[in-house]
Structure 1
Amino acid sequence: MLTYEPDETLAHRLDPRSKLAVQIGFAATALAHTTPRALIVLSAVTAGVLLAARVPIRRTLVTYRFALLILALAPLIAGVTFGSPWFDRPDAVASGLASYRVLLILLVSAAYVRSTPVRDSRAAIQRTIPGKPGQLLGIGVALVFRFLPVLQGDLRTIREAMAARLGTERSVVDRASTVAILGLTRAFDRADRLSLALQARCFAWNPTLPPLAFSRLDYPVLGLAVVLAVTVFY
């Protein structure tokens, strides 16, 4: 499960606004450039980002296993045709390159999640986007980062409980429907408890957020974000 982990890496010392700028620029460039040469360069950038945040590759890939399965199946599905030649290689290659771009974006996002506290993400958004829109977006991001790991833990608990009760011997449809129904029930219960907790703690639209300041390390990172954004037009 991907969550923030305190550390002393280069990525942890950066301002969250710099990291958000790099993420936006990287995603825009990855979606704009589809050639293998561009993907090689983006792969090198991704490797540098992962190294800067010391992202555990194996654990990250395990966390993204369902997304990776979909990305792996996409080229096969795209290449299948209902007639001769039965498999269109150019379509499969194009879909494979698209899947690889999505994988790179996910890995860069994993570096951000590991190196950035939730409060810092909210502060970065609210200070970049003024007024109520920024507050709503900041609150939404904070709740997603805190709420999603809890829901993932609930689903894992449900699957483990089913396995302990020989649920693995039931049909796939039965297991999937059971997990879905119980997962939704847990999600609604969690949402009700979250609402009550926010009321009990006098939820504030504009709380005291941690101070943010750019350091010397941030300026080269911001320069990288600008370069990535500019390459979209070339």
Structure 2
Amino acid sequence: MLTYEPGDSPAHGLDPRAKLAVQFGLAIAVFADPTARGFAVGGAVALAALAAGRLSPLRVVRTYWAVFLFLAVGPLLGGVALGEPWFRVGPAVESLRSVARVVPVVFVGAVYVRTTPVRETRAAIQRVVPGKVGRLFGVGVGLVFRLFPVVLADLRATRRAVHARAGGRRPLRDRVRRILTRGLQRSFLRADRLALALRARCFAWNPTLPALAFRRRDYPVAALGVALAAWPLVVYLPGRFIPVA
């Protein structure tokens, strides 16, 4: 599981709001333009983000292998037919175009997670979304970033324990049931301990968060995010650009 790792890469030094702008802008751009042009733009942004964060794409694939496996199965299932010719290329290609749009977003999101501390993410969200709604979103994102890796580690530990006790000889359904049951028990236990810890530390809705300030290098990145978000205007503007087929 990718988590924040301190470093001196260019992406580490960027304001989280600028990185969020690129991430959301890229998602809008690739879903608005599912053509070769849109895929080229998304791929270029993803490669630039990986280089800026000094993150290997192989590491992202190994970490999110389940996501990529799910995306890879989609086109195969999309082309399956219940009669002759049993597999249709057209629907499979259309499904491939749909799932391919997710890949650059996953890569850019992985770079963001690795290069942005959780406190800065919460600070960015609470500054972008005002009021109690922003505080609620900030708290939720912070808790997810902190607890999700722990929950995955618990599941892996439970799986190793089951296999250490000759669980590999048991039926697959029994193994899955044991791992999920124990995983849920440990997750609820961690949630109870988290609630107790928050009360013991006088949890505040408005804590002192890191100060965020745009610097000169943040403006081009934020401008890129705005340009990507405006990409649908370029795609669908009639009379001047070619619309999506």
**Pairwise TM-score range, normalised by the shorter structure:** over 0.9
Whether 1:147 and 2:147 are equivalent positions in the alignment is yes
Cα distance in 2 for partners of 1:182, 1:171 equals 17
The 5-angstrom pairing of residues 74-153 of structure 1 reads: 74-153=74-153
- 3-state SS of the aligned residue for 2:55? coil
1:22-80: CA deviations, max 9, x gaps?
A: 11100111111111232122111110011101113222211111111111111111100
Structure 2 residue ranges without an equivalent (≥5):
236-245
The 5-angstrom pairing of residues 27-38 of structure 1 reads: 27-38=27-38
Cα distance in 1 for partners of 2:176, 2:85 equals 36
Cα distance in 2 for partners of 1:92, 1:83 equals 15
- Does the aligned pair in 1 maintain the 2:29–2:38 contact within 8 Å? no
The 5-angstrom pairing of residues 162-201 of structure 1 reads: 162-201=162-201
Paired letter, 1:224: L
The 5-angstrom pairing of residues 13-32 of structure 1 reads: 13-32=13-32
Cα distance in 2 for partners of 1:34, 1:90 equals 15
Q: Which moved more, 1:112-121 or 1:80-89?
A: 80-89
Cα distance in 2 for partners of 1:176, 1:67 equals 19
Q: Which has the higher helix share?
A: 1
- 3-state SS of the aligned residue for 1:11? coil
Paired letter, 1:131: G
Paired letter, 2:164: A
Cα distance in 1 for partners of 2:168, 2:32 equals 43
Cα distance in 2 for partners of 1:40, 1:128 equals 30
1:163-216: CA deviations, max 9, x gaps?
A: 211211211111111111111111111100000010011100000000000001
Cα distance in 1 for partners of 2:103, 2:175 equals 29
1:80-109: CA deviations, max 9, x gaps?
A: 011122111111111112222112111110
Tell me how large the CA RMSD over aligned residues is. 1.0
Show the counterpart of 2:203: 203
- 3-state SS of the aligned residue for 1:19? helix
Cα distance in 2 for partners of 1:189, 1:76 equals 40
Residue 147 of structure 1 and its aligned partner are, at CA, apart by: 0.6
Show the counterpart of 2:68: 68
Q: Which moved more, 1:138-147 or 1:57-66?
A: 57-66
Show the counterpart of 1:47: 47
The 5-angstrom pairing of residues 209-228 of structure 1 reads: 209-228=209-228
Paired letter, 1:177: R
Paired letter, 1:175: R
Residue 230 of structure 1 and its aligned partner are, at CA, apart by: 0.9
- 3-state SS of the aligned residue for 1:83? coil
Total equivalences in the alignment: 234
Paired letter, 1:3: T
Structure 1 residue ranges without an equivalent (≥5):
none
Among all aligned residue pairs of Structure 1 and Structure 2, give the percentage whose two residues are the same amino acid: 52
Paired letter, 1:187: S
Q: Which moved more, 1:55-64 or 1:12-21?
A: 55-64
Relative to the length of structure 1, the TM-score reads 0.97
Paired letter, 2:104: L
Show the counterpart of 2:241: none
Cα distance in 1 for partners of 2:88, 2:36 equals 19
Show the counterpart of 1:5: 5
Q: Please identify runs of 4+ aligned residues in structure 1 that moved more than 3 A.
A: none
